[in-house]
């Protein structure tokens, strides 16, 4: 079993306490798409968190939690808007070419539309989760939000029959789905579980470089395929 570090934090809006949450501070650095970080936020009252167990992973996420969550929300909101506008423009162009009888590559357009729809779904899910955590309806509300880090707790996980389970033996659907969906997460999880990757300062630097690259891609709208 591995102990995954989680940063516990408190959220306030307009001076009122809205709740306490916890975010994965290890695997959040190893995700193919940035919005997936939101599914690694948990309610501490519903998860079996413990103090630092033997064999725990190091904390790789060391950013200011308030700046990270607010920045993530703004980037997802911007990407959702850009993808939505791109899809409308893409469909209009496709319809125009069909009307005037110019071949436009039907299968290519279908593939692009499916790709864009997937990005839009992931952003929508991420925004829904973070809106609930931060108690906001849009980026205009973020100035009212204060997020304060409390401490670090640990979430113990193991692999059993192809599923990721917690210390109670209960399947964690989020980690299990990420294991099948996200190749970057899968590599990091396998490495951490089987100790095939040394948990060193070099690994922390690699995680930081990956996150910078991933954020740059996010700002370019994930990136979008050409028309």
Position 224 scores a pLDDT of 33
Q: Give the model confidence (pLDDT) of 140-156 as tens digits.
A: 999 999 999 999 999 99
* Whether residue 178 has pLDDT greater than 70: yes
Q: Give the model confidence (pLDDT) of 61-102 as tens digits.
A: 999 999 999 999 999 998 877 676 655 565 555 554 556 655
Contacts for 170 with CB less than 8 Å, ≥ 6 apart = none
> Does pTM top 0.85 for this prediction?
no
* Domain locations in the chain as residue ranges: 2-219
């Amino acid at each position: 079993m591995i102990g995954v570090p989680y940063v516990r934090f408190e959220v306030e809006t307009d001076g009122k306490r809205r709740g306490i949450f916890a975010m994965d501070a290890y695997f959040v650095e190893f995700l193919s798409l940035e919005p997936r970080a939101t599914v690694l936020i948990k309610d501490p009252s519903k998860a079996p968190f413990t103090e630092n167990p033997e064999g725990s992973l190091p904390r790789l996420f060391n950013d200011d939690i308030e700046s990270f969550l607010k920045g993530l929300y703004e980037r997802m909101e911007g990407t959702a808007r850009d993808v939505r506008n791109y899809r409308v423009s893409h469909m209009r162009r496709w319809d125009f070419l069909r009307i005037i009888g110019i071949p436009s590559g039907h299968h290519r357009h279908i593939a692009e539309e499916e790709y864009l729809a997937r990005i839009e779904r992931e952003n929508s899910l991420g925004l829904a989760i973070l809106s609930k955590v931060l108690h906001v309806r849009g980026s205009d509300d973020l100035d009212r939000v204060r997020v304060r880090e409390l401490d670090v707790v640990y979430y113990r996980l193991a692999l059993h029959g192809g599923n990721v389970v917690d210390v109670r033996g209960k399947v964690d659907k989020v980690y299990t789905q990420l294991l099948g969906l996200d190749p970057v997460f899968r590599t990091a999880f396998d490495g951490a579980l089987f100790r095939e990757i040394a948990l060193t300062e070099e690994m922390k630097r690699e995680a930081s470089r990956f996150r910078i690259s991933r954020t740059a891609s996010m700002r370019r709208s994930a990136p979008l395929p050409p028309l």
